[in-house]
Every structure is written in structure tokens, then in C-alpha cells.
Amino acid sequence: MIASLQVVIFFVFYIAIFGLSLWALIDLLRRPATAFPQAGKRTKGFWGAIVGVATAVSFSVIPIPGVPHLPSFLALLAAVGAIVYLVDVKPAVTPYSGGRGRGPRGPSGPSGGW
């Protein structure tokens, strides 16, 4: 009973890490390459490699019965790569992304809401 509950909990964690990595990859692909140097961050190719590998690894770690998978500890490394992008790089490049995100004046310009 406890062992099967642990398997379910770990499976949910692996799916969550994969979802986090996929979210970071999709966000990165939507950003223009020029936004990264303007924000003082490494290039889009660098972060694309980090987040792309994190997404591939996090998918490969998901335990599917009968299918070989990578060692489980690699999921933590994948999570670190995605989290660093989402909490450090994404907020820095958002203002330089040409209309994506709120920007310094909010969603609808200087006059505010409606």
C-alpha cells in the first residue's frame, strides 16, 4: 500500500517537473533573440540548450512500465535549469519582448484599464 502510494507521488513529481520544463521551453521559444542580450542575459541559444535539455531529460525520467528511463536524480537537475530560466531570465527579458507581458506601464498603456 505505502509503496504504491510512493510510486504515484513520484510519478506526479516527474510529471510536474516535465510540465515546468515544457512551460519554460515554450516561453523561451516565444521570446525574440534580441531580448536576451538587451536584458543582460546569455543568448537565446544558450538558454535554449539549457531548457531544451532539461525538457528532454525530464521527459526521459518519467517512469513508464516496461520502458527504460534515465536515473531519477536527473529530474532534479532538469528542474533547476527550468526554474532558473523562469525566475531569473524570463522576468528580465519580458520587458524587451515587444508587447509580450505587462511591461513597465501595465497591460493597456499609460491611461490604465478601460
pLDDT > 90 in the chain, percent? 66
Burial of 112 (0-12, 13-18, 19+ CB in 10 A): exposed
Average pLDDT for 6-23? 94
**What is the structure's pLDDT at 19?**
97
Q: What pTM was estimated for this model as a whole?
A: 0.80
Tens digit of each residue's pLDDT (9 = 90 or more) over 51-92: 999 999 999 999 888 888 888 899 999 999 999 999 999 999
Confidence of residue 114 (pLDDT cuts 50, 70, 90): low
Rounded-to-integer distance, Cα 101 and Cα 107, Å:
7
Query: Counting beta carbons within 10 angstroms of the beta carbon of residue 4, is it exposed (0 to 12), middle (13 to 18) or buried (19 or more)?
Result: exposed
